[in-house]
């Protein structure tokens, strides 16, 4: 169990440090950032879907005698993330709000990110409870999803009136909610193993929802044939990355 704790909190630390990607964005010109963020988003799509369909769902089915229950939990995850999006506006892509540059938008970003990171901590802990390879695959999928999100969040915080230094610091504090999520999960003790068998299919549904409703619509904004082809290649790269991790199992 100590090994699971170690892997989980090292992984959560890595995920939290992704919030510092904002430092990197400061050195990039806007046109360069816009050009390459689509690559990160595309890879994240492949990684999230690959993790859900190659790692999490097969593991859940293998450890369950009720496939109908697993399917229902996946759908529950999709619906749950839809509800959370409605309540917290996770995507915060509203052009009208962003163009106005009002402070509540920045606070909403921090709140939604805090909840998001809290759930990431639970998901990572539950994944390592199943097996180390599944935990590693899930951590990589979360990281690849976090990179474009954190770049976008940092931009919104700056647009909302925060200074660069304060935006980076607040974003970093929000990222540490992942530690709280992982800690609470493990505080459940032996019950955590039982919870993970139910929570992982829900997490898979969440990954599918994020990839299909949040990230892919962003990719459709680029209409150039060359960029679209590059997106497809990047999605496949993300998927192959998750597939390669199956050889660790």
Separation of CA 109 from chain center? 15
Most confident of 68-77, 143-152, 155-164, 212-221: 68-77
pLDDT tens-digit series, residues 125-141: 888 988 888 899 889 88
Rounded to 5°, the CA angle 142-143-149 comes to 90
DSSP state of 65: S
Rounded to 5°, the CA angle 241-242-243 comes to 90
Most confident of 14-23, 75-84, 87-96, 216-225: 75-84
In a domain, 6, yes or no: no
The arithmetic mean of pLDDT across residues 187-194, rounded, is 75
In a domain, 17, yes or no: no
The arithmetic mean of pLDDT across residues 208-221, rounded, is 84
Distance, CA of 9 to CA of 4 (rounded, Å): 9
In a domain, 9, yes or no: no
* Res 69 pLDDT > 90: yes
**pTM summary value:** 0.66
Question: What is the reported pLDDT for 80?
Answer: 86
In a domain, 2, yes or no: no
Question: What is the reported pLDDT for 189?
Answer: 72
Question: What is the reported pLDDT for 143?
Answer: 84
Distance, CA of 238 to CA of 180 (rounded, Å): 28
DSSP state of 161: T
Distance, CA of 59 to CA of 133 (rounded, Å): 11
Long-range contacts made by residues 215-221, C-beta under 8 angstroms, separation at least 24?
215/41, 215/44, 215/45, 215/48, 215/145, 215/148, 216/45, 218/38, 218/41, 219/38, 219/41, 219/42, 219/45
In a domain, 176, yes or no: yes
CB 201 within 8 A of CB 63: no
Question: What is the reported pLDDT for 123?
Answer: 85
In a domain, 18, yes or no: no
Distance, CA of 242 to CA of 211 (rounded, Å): 15
158 pLDDT band, cuts 50/70/90, is low
Distance, CA of 165 to CA of 141 (rounded, Å): 28
Within 10 angstroms of residue 221's Cβ, the number of other Cβ atoms is 8
In a domain, 157, yes or no: yes
The arithmetic mean of pLDDT across residues 192-207, rounded, is 80
Domain boundaries, position 176: 31-248
Average pLDDT, the chain: 78
Total structural domains within the chain:
1
Helix (H, G, I), strand (E, B) or coil at 93: coil
Question: What is the reported pLDDT for 117?
Answer: 82
Helix (H, G, I), strand (E, B) or coil at 189: coil
Distance, CA of 249 to CA of 170 (rounded, Å): 37
Question: What is the reported pLDDT for 160?
Answer: 62
Q: Which residue has the higher pLDDT, 220 or 196?
A: 220
Closest CA to 55 of 242, 248, 247: 242
Question: What is the reported pLDDT for 96?
Answer: 46
Long-range contacts made by residues 32-36, C-beta under 8 angstroms, separation at least 24?
33/151
DSSP state of 247: G
In a domain, 12, yes or no: no
């Amino acid at each position: 169990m100590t090994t699971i704790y170690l892997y989980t909190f090292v992984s959560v630390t890595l995920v939290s440090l992704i919030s510092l990607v904002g430092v990197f964005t400061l050195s990039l010109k806007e046109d360069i950032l816009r050009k390459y963020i689509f690559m990160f988003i595309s890879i994240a799509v492949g990684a999230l879907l690959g993790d859900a369909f190659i790692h999490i769902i097969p593991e859940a089915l293998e450890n369950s005698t009720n496939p109908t229950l697993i399917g229902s939990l996946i759908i529950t995850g999709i619906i749950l993330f839809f509800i959370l999006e409605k309540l917290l506006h996770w995507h915060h892509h509203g052009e009208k709000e962003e163009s106005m540059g009002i402070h509540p938008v920045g606070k909403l970003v921090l709140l939604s990110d805090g909840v998001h990171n809290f759930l990431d901590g639970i998901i990572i802990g539950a994944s390592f409870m199943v097996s180390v390879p599944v935990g590693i695959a899930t951590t990589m999928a979360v990281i690849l999803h976090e990179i474009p999100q954190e770049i976008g969040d940092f931009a919104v915080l700056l647009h909302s009136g925060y200074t660069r230094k304060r935006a980076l610091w607040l974003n970093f504090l929000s990222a540490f909610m992942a530690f709280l999520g992982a800690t609470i999960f493990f505080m459940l003790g032996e019950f955590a193993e039982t919870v993970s068998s139910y929570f992982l299919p829900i997490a898979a549904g969440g990954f599918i929802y994020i990839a299909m409703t949040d990230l892919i619509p962003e990719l459709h904004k680029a209409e150039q044939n060359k960029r679209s082809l590059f997106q497809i290649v990047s999605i496949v790269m993300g998927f192959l990355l998750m597939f390669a991790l199956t050889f660790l199992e």
